[in-house]
Amino acid sequence: VAVLSVILTFGLCFLGAIPIALLWRSRVARVVALGVASFGLLVLAFQVLGCLAAVTGAALVTRGGALIASGVLCAVAWGVRRARRPRPELPTRWPPLEDRTRAWLALGVIVVGAFLAFAAASGLSAPPRGWDILSYHLPRAMSWLLHGDLGPRGSTGAFYPGNAELPILTLLFSGSDRLVPVVQLPFALLAGVALFGLARAIGASIRSSALAALVLTLSPIVFFQSTIAKDDVVVTALVLAGAMFLLRSLRARAGARERTQEIAAAGFALGLALGTKYSILPYVFGSAPLVLLVHYVRARGGPGAPRAQRAWRPAAVFVVAAAIPSLFWFARNAIHTGNPIEPLPLGPGQWGAWESPGFELQFVPRPSLWWIFPWIDRQLVAGYNGAAGYGAAFGALFLPGLILCARAIRSRVRHYERATLLIAMALGVAGWWFGKFHLPRLLLPVVALACAPIALVFDAVTRGARRALIVLLAVALAFSAAETLRITFLGRDITWTHRGRVDHREFYRMPDLIYELPAGTRILLLEPSSDDLYKTYRYPLVGALPGNDVVMEDDVGVGMDLAARGAVLGHIDLHAHAIDYVFMRIQTHRPRETWFDAYPHLYEKVVDLVEPGYPWYREAYSVDADGEIVGRALVATQMYRVLPRPTGIGWEGAPSEPPRP
C-alpha cells in the first residue's frame, strides 16, 4: 500500500500535467511542459497541504493528504482542458523528421540513456550520502513526514525553500529511502530536453541542438549530481525550461494566447526554481526586468495598444506565475522570523556584512581567478564530484558559441532571442558573483544556458569544419566520461564500491540502539565541536523509517550550553522539549568523559564507543599538519537517555535527603 501510494501520487501529478502539456504544439515544448507541470502539481499539492496544516495545526502533509491533493489538482487540470474544447487550431500531426536526423537523435538518446542509467546504478549502490543531503535535505523531508507539516526545523537549512525536498518526501512515504539518491535523475533528462528546446529557440538545427544537449547531459557534474539528492540539477532544468519558454514568447504575436501561455510557463518554471534554492534569487529578480525589457523592445512598431502597455502585461504575467510555486516558502519564513529570506540578510544595508566564505578557493588558487574555472573544472583536492565538473566539451566549445551568438545578433537573425539569452547569462554570472558563495555548482544554470549557443557553432561552419568539430566533441566527451568512470570505480567517492550490498547500519556506523527505538523518539543532536561534520549525523540518527525525531540545538534552544546552566536547569529544559536522548560524536582517538557522566541520576549513559567513523566521507580521515591523509579517523560516540526528573532534587543537581517514609 505504501509503495502504491507513492506511485499513485507521482502518477496523478503526471496525469494532471498531460492536459497542460497538450496546450503546446511543439514536441519539445510539450515534453518540457510535461516535466515542469508534473513537478509543479506535486509542489502545489504539498504547498496547499502545508498551508492547511499551518492553519489547522493538523498533520496533513502525509501519504493520504498528498494523494488526495494531487488527485484534486489532476481532476482540475482535466476539467479545465475539457472546458476549453473544441480547439480546432491544434495540429493533428507534425512534419516527419529526415531519416538521418532521426538516427542522430536516436543515437543521442541511447548515449545519454546509457550514461544516466549508469548514474542510476551508481546512485542506488548505497544509502543517501553527502554533507548537504544528510545535514538538511533529507532531515527536512523527514521532519515534515513525522510532523505532517512543512515547518522550519533544525539548525541548518531550516528556512531554505524546499520544493526539491517534496519529491524526496513523497519517496519517503514508501517507508524506504532507497530511491532518494537518484531523485535528480528525471531532472537531468528534463534539462537535456529543455536545452535542446532552448537551442532550437535561438534558431539552431535539430542535429546541432542535440549535440549541444549532449555537452550538458554527459558532463561530470550532472552525472555525480544525479547520484546524490542535492538540488542543483533540479534548478538547472527549471532555469533551462524557463529560458526556453521565455525565448519562445518572443516569437508569438503580442496579445496572442500563445504568448501569455509561454510567458506564464517561463514564470512558473523559474518560480519553481526560486522555491527550490536561494541561489536562484538573482536569476529571477534579474529575469523579471528582462522580460519587461525584451517585450518592450519587441513591441516596437506593432499594431494595437501602446508599446509600454504591451510590455507590462507579459512582465506581470511572469511575476504572478513565478510567485505561485515559490511564495509559500517566503511567506512561511516571514511569519516565523519576519524575514522572508531567512537566514540571508534582508536589507541592502546588511548585505555588506554578508562575507564570502571563500568557497572558490576549493577550485581555483585565488578568488580573482574564478573565471578560469571552465578549464580547471574540478575541486583542487577532490577532483570531479557533485560540486564540480562542467566537462571538457564545455571548456572547448562555449566561447566559440558565445561569439557566434553575439555575431548573430548583429545579423538580425533571431536577434531578440539570442540577445535575451546573452543578457540572461550576464545577469546570472553577475548574480552569482554578488551572491558571494562562489560555488561553481551554483553557476550550473548559467553554464547550461551557455551550452545552447554551442549548437550555433555546428550550424555556422562549413561541412569539413563541422566534421572536425564533431570529432573534437567526441574526444572531449570521451575524456570526461573516462574520468567520471575512473572516479566512480576507483576513487574514494564510493558510489560504486558497495553495489547495493550495504545497509544503513554498516554505512552510517550508528549505534544499534538507534534502530531499536520506537518511531518518533526525540533525539537531540548536540554540537560538541566547531567541526561541521556533526551535522551529517542528523539523518543517520533517524534510524529505520518512519524513524526517530532528530532535533538540533536551534529547535529546542538548548545545546552544549546545558553544562553552563547547571545540570538541573538543563535537565528541566530537555524535559520541557520532550527530549528522550542526547547524542554527541566527535573525532578523537580515546574515550572521553562528558559532564553528563557526573549526573548519573539525571542522564543514563547508553552508548559509549570509540570506533572508525564513516568509511566514505572526506572528514572521516585524519590528516597531518600538511593536510596529508594519515588514516581513518576514530570517532567517540556518546548517547545519554534523559531520565525522568527525580523528586526531591537539589538546585545544583545533588540529591537532597530522601523523603521520609
Partner 1 sequence: MSQTADQDHRGGGSGRPEPLGAVSSWLLVVVSCSLLVLYLVLHAREIRLILAWLGSP
CA angle 654, 656, 661 (to 5 degrees): 150
104 binds partner 1 (CB under 8 A): no
Q: Does 648 bind partner 1 (CB under 8 A)?
A: no
- Which one, 460 or 556, has the nearer CB to partner 1? 460
* DSSP secondary structure, 309-353, as one string: HHHHHHHHHHHHHHHTTTHHHHHHHHHHHS-TTTTS--SGGGGGG
Instruction: Using CB under 8 A, pick the residue from 298, 310, 414, 522 that binds partner 1.
Output: 414
Q: Please, what is the minimum distance in Å from the beta carbon of residue 255 to partner 1?
A: 11
User: Residue for cell digits 512582465?
Assistant: 315
CB nearer to partner 1: pick between 47 and 480 = 480
Beta strands 581-587 and 522-525 are parallel
Stretch that binds partner 1, among 148-156, 161-169, 255-263, 607-615 (CB under 8 A): 255-263
Comparison of 372 and 568: residue with beta carbon closer to partner 1? 372
Binding mask 269-308 for partner 1 (x = CB under 8 A): ----------------------------------------
659: CB partners within 8 A, 6+ apart: 647, 648
The 10 Å Cβ neighbour count of residue 457 is: 25
Find the binder of partner 1 among 106, 256, 335, 474 (CB under 8 A): 256
Closest by Cα among 390, 370, 385, 492 to 438: 370
Sole window of 9-17, 202-210, 266-274, 329-337 interacting with partner 1 (rule: CB under 8 A):
202-210
Q: Comparing C-alpha atoms, which of 217, 200, 192, 188 is closest to residue 390?
A: 217
469 part of the interface to partner 1, by CB under 8 A? yes
Residue 486 found at the interface with partner 1 (CB under 8 A): yes
Q: How far apart are CA 168 and CA 165, in angstroms?
A: 5
Distance CA(212)–CA(13), nearest Å, equals 30
Written as nine digits, the cell of 136 is: 538538511
Residue in 51, 58, 120, 206 binding partner 1, rule: CB under 8 A: 206
User: Shortest Cβ distance from residue 29 to partner 1 (Å)?
Assistant: 7
In what order do the strands lie in the sheet containing 522-525? 549-552, 522-525, 581-587, 634-642, 603-612
Cα–Cα distances in angstroms (integers) from residue 654 to residues 533, 640, 641, in the given order: 35, 19, 19
Does 119 engage in binding with partner 1 (CB under 8 A)?
no
Among positions 61, 198, 204, 450, the unique one binding partner 1 when judged by CB under 8 A: 204
Sole window of 110-118, 397-405, 532-540, 610-618 interacting with partner 1 (rule: CB under 8 A): 397-405
Strand partners, 385: 388
- Are residues 169 and 61 in contact, defined by beta-carbon separation less than 8 angstroms? yes
Nearer to partner 1, 182 or 265 (CB): 265
Spacing of C-alpha 507 from chain mean position = 23
Nearer to partner 1, 414 or 522 (CB): 414
Sign of the C-alpha dihedral computed for residues 350, 355, 357 and 361 taken in this order: positive
Contact 63, 2 (CB under 8 A): yes
| Residues in 377-396 that interact with partner 1 by CB under 8 A | 377-378, 383, 392, 395-396
> Per this entry, what is the length of the chain?
661
**Closer CB to partner 1, 23 or 533, in the complex:** 23
Any residues with CB less than 8 A from the CB of 447 and at least 6 apart, and which? 216, 374, 390, 394, 398
Residue type for position 90? L
Whose Cβ is closer to partner 1: residue 256's or residue 623's? 256
**Contacting partner 1 (CB under 8 A), which of 112, 290, 397, 579?**
397
Residues 6+ apart with CB under 8 A from 185: 116, 119, 120, 123, 226
Pick the closer one to partner 1 by CB: 252 or 344. Answer: 252
Asked whether position 355 contacts partner 1 by CB under 8 A, the answer is no
Question: Residue 31 or residue 54: which is nearer to partner 1 going by CB?
Answer: 31
Interface residues for partner 1 in 38-97 (CB under 8 A)?
A: 89, 91, 94-95
Residue 99 sits in the site that holds partner 1 (CB under 8 A): no
The binder of partner 1 chosen from 84, 102, 178, 407 (CB under 8 A): 407
Residue 375 makes contact with partner 1 by CB under 8 A: yes
Distance (Å) of CA 591 to CA 535, 609, 632: 21, 7, 17
The count of residues interacting with partner 1 (CB under 8 A) is: 64
Examine residue 31 and tell whether it contacts partner 1 (CB under 8 A): no
With CB under 8 A as the contact rule, the residue among 8, 22, 59, 376 that binds partner 1 is: 376
**Residue of the chain from 411, 518, 628, 659 that contacts partner 1 (CB under 8 A):** 411
- Residues near partner 1 (CB under 8 A) are 25-27, 29, 89, 91, 94-95, 199-206, 208-209, 248, 251-253, 256, 258-259, 262, 375-378, 383, 392, 395-397, 399-400, 404, 407-408, 411, 413-414, 417, 456-457, 459-462, 464-466, 468-469, 472, 475-476, 479, 482-483, 486, 489-490
